[in-house]
Amino acid sequence: MSEPKRVGLFVTCLVDLFRPSVGFAAVRLLEAAGCEVTVPSVQTCCGQPAYNSGDSADTRDIARGVVRAFRDFDYVVAPSGSCAGMIVKHYPELFRDDPAMAAEAEELAGRTHELVSFLTDVCGVTSVPGKYDGTVTYHDSCSGLRELKVKQQPRALLATVDGLDLRELPGAETCCGFGGTFCVKYADVSVEIVGRKSADIRASGADALLAGDMGCLLNMAGRLKREGSDIEVRHVAEVLAGMLNQPAIGDGQS
Amino acid sequence: MSGRERILGNLKRSLGRDGLDVNAVAAVERRLASRNANLVPKRAARPHAEQVDLFIEKATALDITVARVGGLADVPGAISDYLAEHNLPSEIKMAPDPALDGVPWADRPMLKITRGRAEISDAVGVTPAFRAIAETGTLVTVSSADRPATLNFVPDDHVVVLNASQVIGTMEDMWAGLRADRGDGDMPRTVNMISGPSRTADIQLTLIKGAHGPRRLHIVLVDDGAA
Amino acid sequence: MQPTSHAFKQNAKRAMVDTPLQESLRRLETGFTAARQAAADGLPEFEDLRDEARGIKNHVLEHLDLYLERFESRVTEKGGQVHWCETPRDARNAILEICRKVGARTVTKGKSMVAEEIALNPFLEENGIEPVETDLGEYIIQLADEPPSHIIGPAVHKTKDQVSDLFHEHHQKYGKTERIEEPEALVAEAREILRQKYFDADVGITGANFLIAETGSTVIVTNEGNGDLTQMLPRIHIVVASLEKIVPTLEDVSTILRVLARSATGQEMSVYTTFSTGPKRPEDLDGPDEFHVVLLDNGRSEMLGTELQELLRCIRCGACMNHCPVYHAVGGHTYGWVYPGPIGAALDPHLIGLEEARHLPNASTFCGRCEEVCPMRIPLPKIMRHWREQAFEHHVSPSPERFAIRLWAAIAKRPMLYHLGTRIAMAVLGRLGRRRGRFASLPLAGGWTGGRDLPAPEGRTFQAMWAARGGRTGR
């Protein structure tokens, strides 16, 4: 067997803080795919809150930290299209005026991936540990979909999960209204948008909603729970890894 | 300084161009002089007979009605049939174009024909076409002394007498034809590309025909042997 | 128009409880997105054509001065006249002067966003000239005394009941006393009333989708045919257009036409694409005696060579707003100025100032769908981000927001502080939220919890658990 791929897991701040289970699910999936996973402890956040608020100086400082923390890996993988997209698409732009850093950022961008597409496109994974008894629907988070072209990969892997029935979500490519700081800066509008999304999710008839980004998941789960829905909301990695012990997002321990 | 000079000055400054930039001028001249088409979709790249079929298919999908006739002799009958079908008076305003002189109008003595530009009272306008574009089912008319553009827009019904030989593949083919006819840079005052009867969706996105221009667009397609 | 962009949040609140508006927005969302997709799927070369179209406009912008000069000389050769106008006021005055010369009392107008930009109608009215909008949507909002809410469907926010009411109120003077309801009948009534106006008007004003340097032609693209009647029947035709509308050749315009209607309404071609070159020729039987092009700059020349240059590729198809989740939620009027939706969010700060327009580039989820569907591949989110940076740098953003962002950044830059702070915070939140799994309200999180719960964190951070398990941390 060849050398294992040395993967640095960029766990993302939302997974780190809100949903560690997703981090462990990611580790399980990566290890099952033959990767050696390291989680550098100097990581925090990719810098999107500052970047999207126009604070580019702070963003650059944060990005420098990420570049430094993930220098020594074959690959950097994040269970988030949004954070991976930030590193892949936006870090190089951030350092347009700093050629040395720009080169480093480019180099990092070239080996950074969103988790599920990394499993399929880089590792060639065609089967996963997960089993699931029920009907799920899948929301395409915007950054993963549009910046990294993550679309078929999660569907392909979900199709291999024993017992799982995937029902397409009407308007799956429509934004859920999270938008990072948008969700609090323009809370009314954000709630209106996620309200439409939750109607589509309910209309899909699925028992569970999956997606690949914690921000969107917190938003959609928050809305579904406020409406009293018992649709379970989980990160796609939890289902693929078969790690379903933790109550679903926004559900209590009952 | 005039507005013109200030605007051009601003543009040059923003573009970082001082004085005359011979390279830029050359690039512009090259582009204007080259009649090169950009990427042209392959859809209409087919033999002429099939282009005619494609045109009919596309035009029909745009709610244009097409009556195909064997020759100019059949045109008056086709127009009379159209008028009868829509309960229209047997009266048309026709472009004073010699291209329509070869039609044996006398065969239909009941058909009242006046020629000239359209007036508000004209119900049916009859015009020739310049070309018809197979790619999209689009008719092209050009204005001239013999072809008043008002006939395309004022009457409720617009009937176009089109020869099959006038069907071409694409807009680019049409421009090439226009330049060949008139020489470079000489545009008719009006070139109309018409892709269906007038329509609007401004009320609740409901599609309604006959907003301001013709409610109906009808083509009498004459097989003139070229197809 | 007086901008209300600064009141975006209040505008949005009102819009979201406006039931007829919301009905209209649903229709727009489903109708336009499906139509565009079908049109794009129906042409194998569509994506490549977008690249071509972008290339054409990029080339034009790099040589804009030269193409404009060429355009002008062609227009002049054909007997027309170009009026160069730096500001909206210059443009309004140029138009008024032309109208006054012929003693114009009424002008008919085709739909023109530039005419909206220069606020032409109120100006003409102040000067005793009656502007009559002839595009059905523009006509409806003129009766309602409202600005357009969409760049290709100005009255897309109106339901047919509202249109019925408007016609019933305003058509009495034409002897139309019955209130009619069916869209077909409404269109017919407007047609009948406007028909005479075309013939009566002294001047016809249209916009232009394109100006062609090769031939000096102006091009309008419409479905109703109102623009054509507007420009061919009166004695004077005035085209009002902004200077970036220029395209080199007939071939170039053909390429862009292939992506324009598909992106806008999902048609392969709009019904009428009309090329006008100069006034009526001596031998012609119809057409205007005079042909004027009022060319507006209004700050566009300053956009060249900056981050904003790419906005000048815009062909005003409306695809960005047709696909925008924020536009779908709040409608066009919420944006508070002429250009709504993503294009407005990127353009309006330049045209009306960042202070007035500061909400617009912020009120976006950055979902990227606008850029995905833009036929000219304008990086709209990137330009909105540019405005956010400007706002942050020049302290236009509100201070509590700046404080929160800088605080988070300060923590994110210090892993030790981050780990310590987040461990404590998550432990507290996790304990509080464990039973229900979520919070219905939380101090300082009112924005979030106003309309949704906040899922509770599990309680320990991933990094703490990973370290506790002895996982590899690379140290």
Token code pair at residue A249: 């997002």
Which residue in C has a C-alpha nearest to residue A224's C-alpha? C452
C402-423 residue pLDDT tens:
999 999 999 999 999 999 999 9
Q: Is residue C404 part of a domain?
A: yes
Q: pTM of the predicted model, to two decimals?
A: 0.96
C353-377 residue pLDDT tens:
999 999 999 999 999 999 999 999 9
In three-state secondary structure terms, B38 is: coil
For residues C240 and C105, membership in a common domain is answered with yes
Task: Evaluate if residue A47 carries a pLDDT over 60.
Answer: yes
Q: What percent of chain C has pLDDT over 90?
A: 96
For residues C335 and C218, membership in a common domain is answered with no
For residues C368 and C320, membership in a common domain is answered with yes
Give backbone dihedrals phi and psi of C242, rounded to 5 degrees, phi first. Answer: -85, 155
C136-153 residue pLDDT tens:
999 999 999 999 999 999
Q: Is residue C228 part of a domain?
A: yes
Greatest extent of chain A over all pairs of C-alpha atoms, in Å: 54
Chain C residues lying within 8 Å of B202, measured CB to CB: 135-137, 140, 153-156, 224
**What range does the domain containing C82 cover?**
43-138+203-301
Q: What is the pLDDT of residue C444?
A: 78
- Nearest CB to C84: which of B4, B25, B37? B4
Residue A24 touches chain C, beta carbons under 8 Å: yes
Residue B197 pLDDT level (bands cut at 50, 70, 90):
very high
Task: Evaluate if residue B226 carries a pLDDT over 70.
Answer: no
CA atoms within 13 A on the CB side of C369: 31
C231-290 residue pLDDT tens:
999 999 999 999 999 999 999 999 999 999 999 999 999 999 999 999 999 999 999 999
Token code pair at residue C58: 């990029």
Chain C residues lying within 8 Å of B4, measured CB to CB: 84
For residues C264 and C379, membership in a common domain is answered with no
Residue C41 touches chain B, beta carbons under 8 Å: no
Chain C residues lying within 8 Å of B136, measured CB to CB: 268-269
Token code pair at residue C402: 């700046």
C-alpha angle A188-A190-A191 in degrees, rounded to nearest 5: 65
Q: How far is B51 from chain C (nearest CA, A)?
A: 17
Residue A1 pLDDT level (bands cut at 50, 70, 90):
low
Residue found under tokens 């005055």: C93
Q: Say how many Å lie between the first and final Cα of chain C, rounded.
A: 61
Phi-psi map region of A174: left, alpha, beta (phi>0 left; psi -120 to 50 alpha): beta
Q: Is residue C73 part of a domain?
A: yes
CATH class of the domain comprising B42-222: alpha beta
Chain C residues lying within 8 Å of B212, measured CB to CB: 134, 136, 191, 194-195, 224-226, 229
Asked whether the beta carbons of residue B195 and residue C273 sit closer than 8 angstroms, the reply is yes
For residues C113 and C261, membership in a common domain is answered with yes
**Domain end marker among C346, C368, C398:** C398
Q: Is residue C350 part of a domain?
A: yes
C300-343 residue pLDDT tens:
999 999 999 999 999 999 999 999 999 999 999 999 999 999 99
Task: Evaluate if residue A59 carries a pLDDT over 70.
Answer: yes
Asked whether the beta carbons of residue C408 and residue A253 sit closer than 8 angstroms, the reply is no
Mean pLDDT score of chain C, rounded to an integer? 96
For residues C230 and C267, membership in a common domain is answered with yes
Q: Which of residues 321-340 of C touch A (CB under 8 A)?
A: 325-326, 328-330
Tell me B135's DSSP state: T
Q: What is the pLDDT of residue C1?
A: 79
Q: What letters, b where the CB count within 10 A reaches 16 and e where it falls short, cover C199-224?
A: eebbbbbbbbbbbbbbbbbbbbbbbb
Q: What is the pLDDT of residue C241?
A: 98
Asked whether the beta carbons of residue B203 and residue C160 sit closer than 8 angstroms, the reply is yes
Instruction: Centre a 10 Å sphere on the Cβ of residue B98 and count the other Cβ atoms it contains.
Output: 9
Q: What is the pLDDT of residue A15?
A: 98
Task: Evaluate if residue B227 carries a pLDDT over 50.
Answer: no
A190-217 residue pLDDT tens:
999 999 999 999 999 999 999 999 999 9
For residues C252 and C336, membership in a common domain is answered with no
Residue B28 touches chain C, beta carbons under 8 Å: yes
**Domain end marker among C301, C334, C360:** C301
Q: Could you give the ipTM of this predicted complex?
A: 0.97
Domain ranges in chain B are: 1-34, 42-222
For residues C359 and C404, membership in a common domain is answered with no
For residues C224 and C109, membership in a common domain is answered with yes
For residues C325 and C429, membership in a common domain is answered with no
Q: Which of residues 245-264 of C touch B (CB under 8 A)?
A: 248-252, 254-255, 257-258
Residue B180 touches chain C, beta carbons under 8 Å: no
3-state secondary structure chain C: CCCCHHHHHHHHHHHHCCHHHHHHHHHHHHHHHHHHHHHHHCCCCHHHHHHHHHHHHHHHHHCHHHHHHHHHHHHHHCCCEEEEECCHHHHHHHHHHHHHHCCCCEEEECCCHHHHHCCHHHHHHHCCCEEEECCHHHHHHHHHCCCCCCCCCCCCCCCHHHHHHHHHHHCHHHCCCCCCCCHHHHHHHHHHHHHHHHHHCCEEEECCCEEECCCCEEEEEECCCHHHHHHHCCCEEEEEEEHHHEECCHHHHHHHHHHHHHHHCCCCCCCEEEEECCCCCCCCCCCCCEEEEEEECCCHHHHCCCCCHHHHHCCCCCHHHHCCHHHHHHCCHHHCCCCCHHHHHHHHHHHHCHHHHCHHHHCCCCCCHHHHHCCCCCCHHHHHHHHHHHHHHCCCCCHHHHHHHHHHHHHHCCHHHHHHHHHHHHHHHHHHHCCCCEECCCCCCHHHHCCCCEECCCCCCHHHHHHHCCCCCCC
Considering its fold, how many domains does chain C have in total? 3
* For range C28-57, the mean pLDDT: 97
Q: Contact at 8 Å (CB) between A22 and A50? A: no
For residues C376 and C243, membership in a common domain is answered with no
Chain B residues lying within 8 Å of C248, measured CB to CB: 28, 31-32
Distance of CA B197 to the CA centre of its chain: 12
Residue C7 touches chain A, beta carbons under 8 Å: no
C-alpha radius of gyration, chain C, whole number: 26
For residues C288 and C212, membership in a common domain is answered with yes
Task: Evaluate if residue A2 carries a pLDDT over 80.
Answer: no
Residue B186 pLDDT level (bands cut at 50, 70, 90):
confident
Task: Evaluate if residue B4 carries a pLDDT over 60.
Answer: yes
Q: What is the pLDDT of residue A254?
A: 61
* For range B36-56, the mean pLDDT: 96
Residue C35 touches chain B, beta carbons under 8 Å: no
> How far is residue C8 from each of residues C11, C224, C334, C335, C358, measured CA to CA in Å?
5, 33, 6, 6, 9
| Separation of alpha carbons C60 and B31, rounded Å | 10
Least confident of A34-48, B18-32, C185-199: B18-32
Q: What is the pLDDT of residue B1?
A: 76
Greatest extent of chain B over all pairs of C-alpha atoms, in Å: 70
* For range C61-68, the mean pLDDT: 97
Residue C215 touches chain B, beta carbons under 8 Å: yes
Distance of CA B140 to the CA centre of its chain: 2
Which residue in C has a C-alpha nearest to residue B135's C-alpha? C268
Which residue in C has a C-alpha nearest to residue B170's C-alpha? C254
**A and B in touch (3+ CB pairs within 8 angstroms):** no
Domains contained in chain A, CATH given: 5-121 (3.40.50), 127-241 (3.40.50.11810)
Task: Evaluate if residue B196 carries a pLDDT over 50.
Answer: yes
* For range A226-232, the mean pLDDT: 97
Tell me A122's DSSP state: I
Name the strand (E) or helix (H) holding B157: strand B157-163
Q: Is residue C307 part of a domain?
A: no
